[in-house]
Amino acid sequence: MSDEPVLRFDRVGLSYGPGADILADASLVLRPGSMTFLTGPSGAGKSTLLKLAFLALRPTAGRISLFGLDTGRLKPDALASLRRRIGVVFQEFRLLDHLSAYENVALPLRVMGRPEASYRKDVTELLTWVGLGDRLDARPETLSGGEKQRVAIARAVVVKPDLIIADEPTGNVDEEMGERLFRLFRELNKRLNTTVLIATHDMALVRRANADVLRLADGMVVRAQAPPALQQDTPA
């Protein structure tokens, strides 16, 4: 197995004009099979960094490499091929309103040209696992925020991508469901060697996860210590 980084930022910057740096000199490396949390204060640029990672934005400085390829040197067709290896969970869900929950999750497989008979069972089981087995035919307008989040996560992982990027994936669900969804990410990480990058404010989740932690502040990325696990008081 290659040890080539799945994702590398080399002194990446993003600016919208003089004095408007969103990122400045940001560097990071994600190794194959790693799980990493990206933390930092609100407004620090976590969502922007994720958009750069899945090629929705282009940096104004520095270099971004995906799967060992310099994205700044690639033609549009090659960039599109790289994007197909990435599953993205957006903070704003981005579900298609005219499609059911089942159809939204199945959409990446349809785009790949797979016949429905080859994936119907997998999509149904995945939606059942995230607690939506009885909402397969529901349209997004009838779903709660937490239910939409679960559909979005199922859609991102259904193709078993090489890299999963998630922006606050547990932000709209309760603690129990958040833990369940995290186990889905962890299962993909462990069983399929999927690299996972999660931006989150949920420090309790970070504490339980025992994963790498990066902190974004002042436009730069630094490796941080995971918060200590909660300890139960023991008798003296």
Q: By percentage, how much of the chain surpasses pLDDT 90?
A: 64
pLDDT at position 33 is 94
User: Percent of the chain beyond pLDDT 70?
Assistant: 93
CA distance 226 to 207: 6
Predicted confidence at residue 207, as pLDDT, reads 84
The whole-number average pLDDT for the span 146-163 is 92
Spell out the residues 6+ positions from residue 47 whose beta carbon is closer than 8 angstroms to its own: 91, 167, 199
Residue closest to 14 by CA, chosen among 189, 184, 220, 231: 220
pLDDT digits (tens, 9 = 90+) for 3-49: 789 999 999 999 887 766 889 889 999 999 999 999 998 888 999 99
Angle between helices 145-157 and 120-129 (to 10 degrees): 140
Residue 214, pLDDT above cutoff 70: yes
The whole-model pTM stands at 0.88
Residue pair 124/136 in contact by the 8 Å Cβ criterion: yes
Tell me, what amino acid is at 74?
A: L
